[in-house]
Amino acid sequence: MDPLISGDYPKSMRSLVRTRLPKFTTEQAKQLVGSFDFIGLNYYSTTYASDAPHLSNSRPNYVTDSLYNPTCKDFNLLSLSIP
């Protein structure tokens, strides 16, 4: 969302992903800001997450960038409610 609002990724994301994250030219950043007209959210999939700071020592990649452990442990389908 940040590139669409501010024209660039957050500093925390830049420092974590580094060179694998594209850099925008000044013109591209200007074109990005406010370029959306609809934002949708997919809420049909649930995953519990726990902190995984040990992943910061891993080789950087798409899976470890998020620094979390996804799990479905103790997932209780009955705890979900239908809106």
The helix or strand, by DSSP H or E, that contains position 17, with its residue range, turns out to be: helix 11-17
Measured CA distances, 53 to 32, 50, 67, 82 (Å): 32, 10, 6, 34
Burial bucket for residue 25 (CB in 10 Å: 0-12, 13-18, 19+): exposed
φ/ψ region of 61 (left if φ > 0, alpha if ψ in -120 to 50, else beta) reads beta
Return the pLDDT at 6: 94
Q: 38-81 pLDDT, tens per residue?
A: 998 877 766 777 788 777 777 777 777 777 777 766 555 555 55
Measured CA distances, 40 to 35, 37, 81, 83 (Å): 14, 10, 20, 17
Going from N- to C-terminal start, the domains of the chain cover 2-79
